[in-house]
Structure 1
């Protein structure tokens, strides 16, 4: 969840979560990540300020 923004669902791969969206403006936002847990791992939650980067642009040659 992004403060003042939408709730997003990300992908977890190799211990890293990622999400792609155009619903958050470029800049710095407070992001809260929540993991509900499963039979092997306890759930957890944490927040931090994180940069929101513009999309990568392909060169036009």
Structure 2
């Protein structure tokens, strides 16, 4: 029996943001973890849990990028 090779997820940049399969799966997981919650059909809000999680990862959510 052949060992299953993990599929490489593709990511891409879309207007300076992570997109593609990788970006989509990452966002879905962050919603599952309660880091974001859906406010309207296409609007998501960062929760306190999300703020704490990003802080623990060393991500400054308030840093402005060009």
Question: Normalization by structure 2: what TM-score?
Answer: 0.24
Tell me which of the two structures has the higher relative contact order, counting C-alpha pairs closer than 8 angstroms and 6 or more residues apart.
1
